[in-house]
Amino acid sequence: MPNLNYAEVWDKDLLAILNQGMLTSPFLTTNVKWVGAKTFHFTQMNTSGYKSHSRQGGWNKGSYEQNDVPYTVTHDRDISFLVDKADVDETNATASIKNISKTFHETQQVPEIDAYFFSKVAQEAMKLQGYHSETAEADYTVENVYTKLKTMLATGKLRRYVKNGSLICYVRSFIMDLLENCKDFTRKIEMTQIAEGGIGLETRVTEINGVTLMEVIDDERFYNKFDFTDGFEPVAKADGVEGSKRINVLIASLETVKTVPKLSSIYYFAPGAHTEGDGYLYQDRSLSDTFVFPNGKDNKIDSIYVDVDTTEYTAE
C-alpha cells in the first residue's frame, strides 16, 4: 500500500488516464464450444481436386482429410487489491475499490490484451517464410511508405484476404505521419472513434485497397515479444538473449486470427466478508489466448504479416 499524505486535502476524482483503448477488440470472439477445462477443438479439412472425366463411364475417386485439432488457452492472469478501511476514509474515498478497478482495467488489463495479441501474432508470422521482414525506422520515407505498405499487403496469399475485406493493418504513429504527407496516398486519414464497452477509443484510421489501417499510439504494447512475469515488459537485450523489437506493421485477418476468452472473474468482498485483512478486497482473474488458425484449403497459415524494427530493446 503506498504512503498516503493524510495532511493534504484529496480530490475525490482521479486524474484523467491518457491511455489508448483496446485496439484488438475486433478479433475477440466468444463463439467457442468448450470441451475441456482449457481446451477447444478446431476441425481442419482438405480435399483433393477435380480429375479428367472419361466419357467411357466411371467416376474418378477423390480423397478428403479431416483432423480434429485441440487448442489450449494458456494466458492465465490474476491480481488482488486490499484497500484498508482507514485508507478509504482518510483519502476521501479516492483509494476505493471502484477507482482501483477502473485504473487497473484501463492501464493494465486492456493494454496487456493488445500486447499479448500483437506479440503472439508477430511470433507466428516470424516462423513463416515470406511473411515477415525487418526495416529500420529511418528506411521508411514519405516517398516509399505507401509502396512498402502495398507490397506487404500483397505478400503471399494475403491478396485472398484483401479481396475478402478481412484484413486489419496496425502501424506505428510515425508511419501514419508519413502517409499523411505522401503524395501517392490520396485516401483521407481521420481520427475515428471506435466504441468498445461504452468507451470511445480515438485513433487515426485510414485504408489501402479496402484494408483498414489503424494507428498504434501507445507503442509500448507494440513489440514482438514480452515478459509477462509482472504486468508486461519488452524483453531486454542481454548476453545470449535477443531483445524485443518494436513492431512497425502488423497485418492479421479477422477470418483466421482470434482472441478467445475462457474465464473472466471479478470478486468483491466487503470488510468482514474475507480473511485478508480489515478492508475491501478486490480479486480479478482472466484466462484467454490468441490463436492464428490455418486456412481451410491446405491447412497452412497465410493470413498474417509482421515488419519489425532492426533495433533490439535495451533496458534503460
> What is the chain's mean pLDDT, rounded?
87
31 versus 141: which is more confidently predicted?
141
Across 4-8, 174-178, 229-233, least confident range: 4-8
Binned at pLDDT 50, 70 and 90, residue 184 comes out as confident
173 confidence band (pLDDT: 50, 70, 90):
very high
Angle of the 145-153 helix axis to the 173-180 helix axis, nearest 10 = 120
Q: Where are the beta strands (DSSP E) in 123-243?
A: 132-134, 167-172, 190-196, 199-208, 211-216, 226-227, 233-234
Q: pLDDT confidence of 196, banded at 50, 70, 90?
A: very low
Give the pLDDT confidence of 220-240 residue by residue, as tens digits. Answer: 999 999 999 999 999 999 988
pLDDT at residue 117 greater than cutoff 70: yes
pLDDT at 28 over 80: yes
Q: Which of 7-16, 82-91, 188-197, 198-207 has the lowest mean pLDDT?
A: 7-16
Q: Which three cell numbers stand for residue 123?
A: 511470433
If residue 147 lies in a helix (H) or strand (E), which one and from where to where?
A: helix 145-153
Residue pLDDT, tens place only, 96-115 = 888 888 889 888 999 999 99
Q: Where are the domains of the chain?
A: 25-51+62-186+215-312
3-state secondary structure of 99: helix
